[in-house]
Structure 1
Amino acid sequence: MKVLVVGNGGREHALAWKLLQSKQIEQVVCVPGNGGTASMERCQNLPLAVDNFEGMSQYALEHGITLVVVGPEVPLAKGITDYLQSQGLMVFGPTRAGAQIEASKAWAKALMQEAGIPTAKAAVFTEATAAKSYVKAQGAPIVVKADGLAAGKGVIVAETIDQAEMAIDTIFQGQFGSAGNFVVIEEYLVGQEVSVLALTDGLTIRPLLPAQDHKRIGEGDTGENTGGMGAYAPAPIATPELMARIQTEVLEKAIASLKAKGIDYRGVLYAGLMIAPDGDFQVLEFNCRFGDPETQVVLPLLATPLEELILACVQQRLGKLPPIAWHQGASATVVAASGGYPGEYEKDKVITGIQQAEAAGATVFHAGTKLNQQQQVVTDGGRVLNVTGSGENFEQAIAQAYAGIKAIQFEGIYYRRDIGHRVLTNG
């Protein structure tokens, strides 16, 4: 079968890489793809924008594409699934109605409250004065969120009232585009974040291995929020007992609530949770797609063929499959970013050392890369590469990832040197 993967990041490279491990997959086409997907056997890039639904549909129908797998949230929020399904194509990813669970934090918060899903106290505002009054009444620290899609950067953890007010002004002044039409203000929760990516056919929902992302740019989890600077799986803090509770108290309630709203949700439901020091949890957010960089550590551990799971979701027969099978051990990824990220950064820097990193045992997933006219791999984004290691334990996986990233060079390269610090220090 032929599969079209929509997106150009590390997540999409990982999806294509995993799909191509199956003998059932003849070819993967990535739209638009990156320098890594352009270099894989049986994989090609198609230079279309992720919101060129008509172009993708025409290509898929003309070239015998069996399945479309949508990576990023933006085309899902714009209705790619609705459009491609109307053209007779099978699509893995929720409809526009389902994608609201990520596209609007206010909508998702209301759904959680209606469904009785544990989540932080919050309020939604459409103008700055009322939002600032609320902040003053609640006190700091407090969390200020742009309502819509902001590439993982629309969340500001304000340590003081002044910081919260600045964040409110920044959002309403349009830094995050239309995501700033509403502001969601939440209570500040203490604990560790865990990402639970689950597959669903709208009736049954099955979690993948829990992962832990490192969202802050600086070591010691300091500095600005990013799209993610590294991750590891399986996250030990999400014990089997906790995962059983998350299944019944979060995942199943969410799917039931979506179904009650008439939404046929087939794809990934990603719950971002805060695990408190006492072991209890609350949902911070839902996303409507695979996490990035969590996908890059979960998929290397997946033993069940990915296309079997995806097809079961699309064809609404996930409940008939045997339990998802996993390889033993651990996986970790370190993000190599452009200098200046998550702010301004330069592109077109030549990257060297990828082959040496892979010779050291790492798997290198390209995120913000492309091939230049000389067929060199060059930087083309803020997060450039995800260097992933696997092993029998976290020590081996993390060591392999760092051995790989040390071989890679490009002008301005930056990466955190403490990915996985919690599992290495048992703290």
Structure 2
Amino acid sequence: MADSNPGKINVLLIGSGGREHALAWALRKSDRTGQLFIAPGNPGTARCGTNVPLDTSNQEAVLAFIEDHQIGLTVVGPEQPLVEGIADFLSANGKLVFGPSQAAARLEGSKSFAKDIMKKYGVPTGDYLVFEGHEADAARAHITQNNSWPMVLKADGLAAGKGVFIPQNLEEALWSLDALVTDDLYGKSGTRLVIEEYLTGEEVSVFAICDGKNARILMHAQDHKRIGDGDTGLNTGGMGAYAPTRLLDDAGLAAVQEKIVEPMLHGMAAEGAPYVGVLYCGLMITPDGPKVIEFNCRFGDPECQVIMPALQSDFTDLLLAACEGRLDTYVPDIDMQQWYTCLVLASGGYPGSYEKGKVITGIPTESEQVQVFHAGTKTDAEGRLVTNGGRVLNVVAKGETLQDSIRLAYDAASLISFEGLYKRTDIGAKGLAKF
């Protein structure tokens, strides 16, 4: 794991959510990080580096900032800039960037593309059919003839984690179809529809750092996507997570590496789109083994918030190893002896409509066991920390047991207050049931 370039470099991190605060926290701890800039960041990331009001959708402006501030590595947090090709643009201009190319980011940007690649290269996933927007009648006929419920309907493109419906019966399925296609609820994302087989089992998220040829699995975590206790109610961007899980043992992780991660790396390279970045494998642990629900081209949120504290290796050096094709000799050090729980504190009404500007108080001081990562927060004109999104804060705790980490997270969260604060009360309970 020799370091070919031990000097410090300036780093630019793109993004503003809880995931980006966790990434900024890890980048700041690195001995390789010089100046750290976050664009646009949030009040939490401001404690890790310098927030900059940079329009990251303007690739020319990003390039100019990189050149002006002698940035040695750009890390792209969210999926939208990657799908829009920021990694290609920066690489073409000689800049080092951690994140997949536009062609590789299609694994998240197009559900149909991802399913087709999985089918072509033998990666286990559910059966599926793809319908174009003008084929709504054909999709409706297919749904009407279905005799197995539930089923899965997905908008093909990006929909902020909310373009998935799991109807339990024909009436719900036809409503979901109209929402996705006829009502054009998700704009261009809904102009192509993927109808998938419903996979039974438990979900787990696996994250692999990739350099185009090699991959290193960092950690596996279990997200809690539904808004309500007991996994009820609407899907959200994620209400909490814990890591590691007991859904995958060493043999299971080896199978994921061999049957999912490596075939995808081989397939993407064969398609002329080598995958460099983090590959988020959203899996269902079925009776037939792990199958892919979806791939994402960035760290999960809130899973990232439990992975970063578990990473013992120098994070900046790890990302440089991926960008420079050195992962074949790099073995990340992951703390698998401790347990990590992330609890999301959300605005009342989320994932529907909610109010912003609620004053936040009581955030505990960071400690060895507890961190609070900011997501939807801002500082108002009076200098107060206020809510500025649906998912507001992420309370992360480390414990010697999963039960300890859950207790510490809820104890820390109980100190925090803002009007309308909502949190699930059962984050990690599915993990405890495995003991």
Indicate whether the TM-score tops 0.5.
Answer: yes
Q: CA deviation at 1:348?
A: 1.3
Q: Distance in 1 between matches of 2:332 and 2:33?
A: 22
Deviation track 1:101-129 (CA, whole Å, cap 9, x = no partner) reads 00000000000000101100110111321
Q: What corresponds to 2:377 in structure 1?
A: 369
Q: CA deviation at 1:286?
A: 0.5
Q: Distance in 2 between matches of 1:306 and 1:106?
A: 33
Answering whether residue 25 of structure 2 is matched by residue 17 of structure 1, we say yes
Answering whether residue 279 of structure 2 is matched by residue 269 of structure 1, we say yes
SS, match of residue 148 in structure 1 = coil
Query: Partner amino acid for 1:49?
Result: D
Q: What corresponds to 1:336 in structure 2?
A: 345
Q: What's the RMSD between the two structures over aligned residues? A: 1.4
Q: What corresponds to 1:387 in structure 2?
A: 395
Within 5 Å, give how 1:222-371 maps onto structure 2.
Answer: 222-276=232-286, 278=287, 280-326=289-335, 328-355=337-364, 358=366, 361-371=369-379
5+ long unaligned stretches in structure 2: 1-8
Query: Partner amino acid for 2:352?
Result: G
Q: What corresponds to 2:86 in structure 1?
A: 80
CA contact (8 A) 1:360 1:404 kept: no
Q: Distance in 1 between matches of 2:360 and 2:56?
A: 25
Larger mean Cα displacement after TM superposition, 317-326 or 212-221: 317-326
Deviation track 1:240-294 (CA, whole Å, cap 9, x = no partner) reads 1111111000000000000000112110111100012x36121100111111111
CA contact (8 A) 1:361 1:404 kept: no
CA contact (8 A) 1:349 1:379 kept: yes
Structure 2 residue corresponding to 1:179, chosen from 186, 189, 205? 189
Q: Distance in 2 between matches of 1:247 and 1:257?
A: 14
TM-score if structure 2 supplies the norm length?
Answer: 0.95
Q: What corresponds to 1:114 in structure 2?
A: 120
Answering whether residue 66 of structure 2 is matched by residue 57 of structure 1, we say no
Percent identity over paired residues? 48
State the aligned residue count: 423
Query: Partner amino acid for 2:102?
Result: R
Query: Partner amino acid for 1:107?
Result: F
Q: CA deviation at 1:208?
A: 1.1
SS, match of residue 253 in structure 1 = helix
CA contact (8 A) 1:368 1:381 kept: yes
Q: CA deviation at 1:361?
A: 4.5
Query: Partner amino acid for 2:428?
Result: G
Q: CA deviation at 1:387?
A: 0.5
Q: What corresponds to 2:431 in structure 1?
A: 423
CA contact (8 A) 1:53 1:80 kept: yes
5+ long unaligned stretches in structure 1: none
Answering whether residue 22 of structure 2 is matched by residue 29 of structure 1, we say no
Answering whether residue 50 of structure 2 is matched by residue 44 of structure 1, we say yes
Query: Partner amino acid for 2:343?
Result: V
Q: What corresponds to 1:92 in structure 2?
A: 98
SS, match of residue 241 in structure 1 = helix
Q: 4+ runs of 1 displaced by more than 3 Å?
A: 322-325, 358-361
Q: CA deviation at 1:360?
A: 9.9
1:322–1:426: structure 2 CA closer, same or farther, 3 Å change rule?
A: closer
Deviation track 1:191-244 (CA, whole Å, cap 9, x = no partner) reads 100000100000101111110000101100011111100001111111111111
Q: Distance in 2 between matches of 1:16 and 1:56?
A: 18
Query: Partner amino acid for 1:227?
Result: G
Q: CA deviation at 1:393?
A: 1.2
Deviation track 1:46-80 (CA, whole Å, cap 9, x = no partner) reads 11233122211111110111100000000000001
Q: Distance in 1 between matches of 2:143 and 2:273?
A: 34
Larger mean Cα displacement after TM superposition, 320-329 or 175-184: 320-329
SS, match of residue 24 in structure 2 = helix
Q: What corresponds to 1:8 in structure 2?
A: 16
Q: Distance in 2 between matches of 1:286 and 1:359?
A: 33
Q: What corresponds to 2:4 in structure 1?
A: none
1:359–1:304: structure 2 CA closer, same or farther, 3 Å change rule?
A: closer
Q: CA deviation at 1:190?
A: 1.1
Query: Partner amino acid for 2:94?
Result: G
Q: Distance in 1 between matches of 2:138 and 2:94?
A: 47
Query: Partner amino acid for 2:104?
Result: G
CA contact (8 A) 2:244 2:336 kept: no
Answering whether residue 178 of structure 2 is matched by residue 169 of structure 1, we say yes
CA contact (8 A) 1:14 1:296 kept: yes
Q: CA deviation at 1:88?
A: 1.8
